[in-house]
């Protein structure tokens, strides 16, 4: 699992940051009005699972999306978790 925060955008993981930002903008941002504060996992194919707690979304992500998805907190100054 890799974790990114805004301070790591200049690191060698910049490609991870760009992909995460693209996915959140496309699939997470539309959920902000109705689901702010909840957690989502987004696969690289754009499949999304959502849950009120981090552990729940992590479990759902592994069950439904498999390894390689990105996890965000909707509408928050977010960190990114990627299951490797």
Can you give the residue ranges of every domain in the chain?
8-82
Average pLDDT over residues 45-63: 96
Please check whether residue 58 is in contact with residue 35, taking contact to mean a CB–CB distance below 8 angstroms. no
Would you say residue 18 has pLDDT above 70? yes
Contacts of 41 (CB under 8 A, 6+ apart): 48, 49, 57, 58, 60, 61, 65, 69, 70, 71, 72
pTM, rounded to two decimals: 0.77
pLDDT in the model for residue 1: 47
Of all residues in the chain, the percent with pLDDT exceeding 90 is 62
Least reliable range by pLDDT among 13-17, 45-49, 59-63, 66-70: 13-17
Average pLDDT over residues 28-42: 94
């Amino acid at each position: 699992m890799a974790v990114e925060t805004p301070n790591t955008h200049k690191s060698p993981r910049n490609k991870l940051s760009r992909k995460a930002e693209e996915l959140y903008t496309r699939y997470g941002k539309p959920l902000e009005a109705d689901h702010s504060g909840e957690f989502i996992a987004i696969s690289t194919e754009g499949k999304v699972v959502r849950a009120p707690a981090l552990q729940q979304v992590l479990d759902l992500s592994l069950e439904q999306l498999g390894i390689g998805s990105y996890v965000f907190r909707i509408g928050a100054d977010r960190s990114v978790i990627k299951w490797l």
